[in-house]
Amino acid sequence: MTKKNKVKTSQTRGEDIQPSVHIDITRKRFRIGDFLAEKIIKGVAFLSITIIVLIFFFVFREAFPIFNTSKEIIKPATEQAKADTQETYGAVTDGDSKVKPNEINGAVSDTSAKKDVQETYGDVTDKQENPEQNGVQKANSSAITAKSTSTYTVSAGSGTDDNQSALKTMLSKEWVPVSEKPRYGILALIIGTFKITLISLLFAAPLAILAALYTAEFANKRMKEIIKPTIELLAGFPSVVIGFFALMVLATFLQNVFHYSTRLNSFVGGIAMGIAAIPIIFTITEDALTAVPRSFNEASLALGASKWQTAFFVILPAATPGIFAAILLGIGRVFGETMIALMATGNAALMDLNPFESVRTLAATIGAEMAEVVFGDTHYNVLFLIGSLLFVFTFVLNAIAEFYVKGKLMKRIQGK
């Protein structure tokens, strides 16, 4: 067959071939389910950020009036009048002026009239009205009306003085918020908080890291299935249960061992908070050790290192970023703990470096006093200022964990 015939034959056969359709496999098809899931996840993320910002705004808004020197305090208009007159809790129903009334915390009445007047609760169904009883009821109703319609005046001078005194005593050593001359020295609270945190980390970090190292490198599969869930179960214990255990059992045991005088102190509180922080440090450390590539282990063993040398000098340094993050999260857990600090530390604002003396933390101060303060008072604003300090510290801690761990430590581990 010649070349011309081949061309004709190929053209004849090509008449029956349909043109090919090009399909773009990279084109993304629209699915309503995927679209809704993406929008919901994005909305939840933005909602979380918004909630954090709102909490930040609320806490600092309530703490800001402490720096305002023109703060106005609302006081009753009859406050000065009450100081000049005698306070009674009922009505004066002295019917006979010759008889001296008895002064009691209740109605000031003639003793001779008590026998004739019967105390009732509700409507009086007797048709005969006692004049003296009717007078008592009218006097009581007028007293209640006067009490409910009391007016209030605004005083600016006392609020300014309270704010100035609070700012002057802020860095002092004394925390005496309820006094004729209140002192809001948060320095003792800050030192007590850091002392508790240091003691708890010295107790919890070595135990949690070594337990995680044993679980990840030395324990067999069955032992790992027992140890890991048991330690992680502690994370589900309520703080009040751990605090109650420290109050009733741990404090007595440690006092008998170390023979110190103060039963509840920073040492007991630090050990109790360390128990609460162990599950967090253990879990994150064990995950970091497990994430180390097995080639590190195999290369170390191939070079002649023993198993414990490989674990301590190869695997543990390689997991340093995860261990550092675990310790930071443990610090955040201890720093913001309230119930254990209230129940096991003695709750006394003392500036003493002795670990066997009572202390008071920032979070415990808020938990103990927030329910008793007057809304908008200087003491109220100082407590919110303490909450702001806790918020800032947690934010800085997370920032260090984010930038330092993912930055310098990761570059050092990767050899960059």
Instruction: Indicate if the pLDDT at residue 100 is higher than 70.
Output: no
Distance between alpha carbon 23 and the CA centroid of its chain, in Å?
57
pLDDT at 7: 47
Domains in the chain, CATH or no CATH each: 64-79+155-176 (no CATH), 83-150 (no CATH), 186-414 (1.10.3720.10)
pLDDT at 411: 66
DSSP labels, 131-177: HHHHHHHHHHHHHHHHHHT--EEEE-HHHHHHHHHHHHTTTSS-EE-
pLDDT (mean) for 198-226: 93
C-alpha dihedral sign at 111, 116, 117, 121: positive
Q: pLDDT digit string (tens) for 32-43?
A: 888 899 899 999
pLDDT (mean) for 58-73: 74
Confirm if 373 and 379 have CB atoms less than 8 A apart: yes
C-alpha dihedral sign at 342, 345, 346, 350: negative
3-state secondary structure of 359: strand
pTM: 0.69
Tell me how far CA of residue 281 lies from CA of 71, 223, 270, 413, in angstroms.
45, 19, 15, 21
pLDDT at 134: 47
pLDDT (mean) for 179-204: 91
pLDDT (mean) for 119-148: 46
Confirm if 289 and 321 have CB atoms less than 8 A apart: no
Phi, psi of 106 (to 5 degrees): 180, -145
Pairing of strands 175-176, 183-184: antiparallel
